[in-house]
Amino acid sequence: MPDAGRREMPEKGFLHHMADKEQPPLPGRSSHGGKPSQPEKKLQEAVCVLLVELCERFTFFGIVCNMILFCTAKLGYRSHQAAMVNMCFVGTSTLTPVLVGWLAECLVGRSKLVCICMFLHFLGTALLPVVSFPFEDVYIDRRHVLHALTKREQKFVFYFALLTASLGIGGIRAIVCPLSAYSLEDCGAKELLSFFNWFHWLVNLNSAVVFVSISYIQQSVARNLGFLIPFVSGLMALITIHMLRGEMIYKPKTDSSLLTTFGVIGSALRACCVRYRYFGGSMATWLDHAKENHGGQYSETQVESTKSLARLFPLFTFQILYRTCVMQIPSGYYLQTMNSNLHFSGFVLPVAAMNVISIVPLLILVPILECFNSWLFSSKDTGYSPTIYIVVGQFCAALSVMAAGFSEIHRKHFPQVQQTLSEEVLLVSSMPCFHLAPQYILLGVAEALVTPSCSLLSFWLVPERMRGISMHFLALFNGAGCFMGAFFVQTAHAGTQGNWFPHLLHEGKLERFFFFLASLMMVNTLGFWTIAHRYNNLHQDCTNEFRGSLPGENLLKHGKAIKQYNTILESSPILSPMEKT
């Protein structure tokens, strides 16, 4: 029974730190007023958070899946401009959770900010049908037509809708559905990797449904009503949040801050410059300059937490170019598919439906990897690290982009035919679109290997108080990869006068852009392989160093050292009684 009492103490401490959480009732009983018991409440919260997560992803993928076709056919954009808009929207939606998380932490209350983000999400998803709706096709009667928006007005409403929708998406991801809402604090490395594997499996299963259903509705049956589906999905998510707002809005601990982390880094950089210029000298690490005992303004605990996060910066940096390669699916690969033969047995396939080919390997590999990981973690080898997954995944991404270059050369050898997409007649290659399957499959394998493993390292290799900050930094670098992809497209188009990223693919050399990106990705893979050993057993070193550097731990060490020294003095036969005193 004493062991049972000791096990209950951490659980009570954890519940005490959960902000605005009710005290758990006794097991097997319900609280007064007919409220559900604590296990039922946790299950209800988990189901609601997962439902909102899936609804938000459904909305996001519904907007992204056919944006290039909409921009080129409806708004008259060039191919490279449409690809840049798509990548910038994905990048903005990746970065906005970090911004909204900072606003909720420093400026605006979480409840108030959730209401604002819900309104922005509702406004953005409601404005998208306004842009896509064919006003010229809706008649008041047989003679009169409703007023149509001009191209300039359509573009303004379109960009405003994308901005407000991305801000709403950021609020839902940061406040309603953060990773901390899934109670991962007490999970080990094996449980965390399993969680990230199945979490991404569910997200990709949801995206597969979107790419098949919404893309077909947008492109074929009722293409102009396609954006109403993201609107309905977003509305369903908002209703779910409104119904269970008190239980779903998670309030994390406030013992760490993104601003504090940036402050430690900025203070250390300023101190490094001053000391290097005027005083010289060196310390263990450059971040030590921010400590109070070295003239800085931050405590040792804050600096040591930032040091553990700084060890992950090389890992985050090598994810930028990888994310750029992944962004070729909704940009370069989409354009290749759009310019290929989509007819299959008398049926015109949706362009975005080809994305399902990249999702199928992930859906198949996750259960296999789960069994393999269970065997690895159960073995006696404690040096296992998922860095090998990241190396192999990045290599698959490089092969995928290289295969896209060869597929582009192969596609041009087929004669051209006419194909109607979104009521636009395009001159495309007669090559079946399924010839592009290898590049999609390779990138799907890369996502199955890289994304869960990188999430695990980012979450596991830092102290518990820094895990949310670490995931924010991972999102920052992933967003940077999206914007770098847009920068590469603009640079390739402008630098080669449209030859490397042409509007009409048969008139340019898109394969050169793919080969250039594949060579960069291969160098990126080799670079990460050279530093991958740093993260093999980093969780042990990081925990020990972090604990050992705290003031309380140092005092305990000094006390033990004094006791050991006194014991040696008392037991030493060499020292005289006078020397012992």
CA–CA distance, 210 with 216 (Å, rounded to integer) = 9
What confidence score (pLDDT) does residue 118 get? 83
Tell me the per-residue pLDDT of 537-573, one tens digit each, with 9 for 90 and over. Answer: 644 544 444 444 444 444 444 444 444 445 444 444 4
Amino acid at 82: A
The answer to whether residue 83 scores a pLDDT higher than 80 is yes
Adjacent-strand bridge partners of 145 = 139
Q: What's 461's DSSP letter?
A: S
Q: What's 286's DSSP letter?
A: G
What confidence score (pLDDT) does residue 41 get? 66
Q: Give 286's contacts (C-beta < 8 A, 6+ positions apart).
A: 268, 269, 272
What confidence score (pLDDT) does residue 117 get? 85
CA–CA distance, 267 with 292 (Å, rounded to integer) = 11
What confidence score (pLDDT) does residue 275 get? 62
CA–CA distance, 185 with 476 (Å, rounded to integer) = 22
What confidence score (pLDDT) does residue 318 get? 94
What confidence score (pLDDT) does residue 470 get? 87
CA–CA distance, 251 with 11 (Å, rounded to integer) = 18
Residue 525 token pair: 């893979």
∠ Cα 311 317 323 (to 5°): 135
What confidence score (pLDDT) does residue 9 get? 41
The answer to whether residue 86 scores a pLDDT higher than 80 is yes
CA–CA distance, 544 with 116 (Å, rounded to integer) = 42
What confidence score (pLDDT) does residue 406 get? 94
Q: What's 221's DSSP letter?
A: I
Q: How far is CA 365 from CA 197, 203, 327, 448, 516, in A?
A: 10, 14, 21, 7, 29
The answer to whether residue 23 scores a pLDDT higher than 50 is no
**Alpha helices by DSSP H, 150-283:** 151-171, 189-216, 228-243, 245-248, 258-274
Element (H, E) at 343: strand 343-344
> 3-class DSSP state for residue 118?
helix
Sheet strands (E) in 375-532:
416-421, 424-429
Tokens 């390739």 sit at which residue? 492
Q: How many CB atoms lie within 10 A of CB 550?
A: 15
Local confidence band at 180 (pLDDT 50, 70, 90 cut-offs): low
Local confidence band at 103 (pLDDT 50, 70, 90 cut-offs): confident
Averaged over 442-471, what is the pLDDT? 88
The answer to whether residue 202 scores a pLDDT higher than 70 is yes
Tell me the per-residue pLDDT of 417-445, one tens digit each, with 9 for 90 and over. Answer: 888 776 678 888 889 889 999 999 999 99
Is 29 or 156 the better-scoring residue by pLDDT? 156
Is 290 or 543 the better-scoring residue by pLDDT? 290
**How many DSSP H helices and E strands does the chain contain?**
21, 4
- Measured in residues, the chain has a length of 581
Element (H, E) at 489: helix 467-495
Averaged over 221-244, what is the pLDDT? 63
Q: Give 412's contacts (C-beta < 8 A, 6+ positions apart).
A: 429, 506
Tell me the per-residue pLDDT of 345-386, one tens digit each, with 9 for 90 and over. Answer: 777 788 878 888 899 999 999 889 888 877 777 765 555 678
Q: How many CB atoms lie within 10 A of CB 166?
A: 25
Say if residues 82 and 73 touch (Cβ distance below 8 Å): no
Share the mean pLDDT of the chain. Answer: 76
**What's the pTM value of the predicted model, to 2 decimals?**
0.80
The answer to whether residue 262 scores a pLDDT higher than 50 is yes
What confidence score (pLDDT) does residue 348 get? 79
Smallest Cα–Cα separation from 403: which of 427, 438, 374, 371? 438
Residue 277 token pair: 């210029």
DSSP collapsed to 3 states, 143-182: CCECCCCCHHHHHHHHHHHHHHHHHHHHHHHHHHCCHHHH
What confidence score (pLDDT) does residue 219 get? 58
Averaged over 457-465, what is the pLDDT? 85
> 3-class DSSP state for residue 133?
coil
7-16, 205-214, 416-425, 517-526: the lowest-pLDDT one: 7-16
Say if residues 456 and 196 touch (Cβ distance below 8 Å): yes
DSSP letters for 55-104: HHHHHHHHHHTTHHHHHHHTS---HHHHHHHHHHHHHHHHHHHHHHHHHH
What confidence score (pLDDT) does residue 31 get? 44
Smallest Cα–Cα separation from 319: which of 447, 180, 445, 199? 447
> 3-class DSSP state for residue 31?
coil
CA–CA distance, 361 with 163 (Å, rounded to integer) = 32
CA–CA distance, 514 with 212 (Å, rounded to integer) = 26
Is 150 or 533 the better-scoring residue by pLDDT? 533
Q: How far is CA 54 from CA 51, 69, 210, 228, in A?
A: 5, 24, 11, 17
What confidence score (pLDDT) does residue 481 get? 93
What confidence score (pLDDT) does residue 393 get? 94
Averaged over 60-83, what is the pLDDT? 85
What confidence score (pLDDT) does residue 220 get? 57
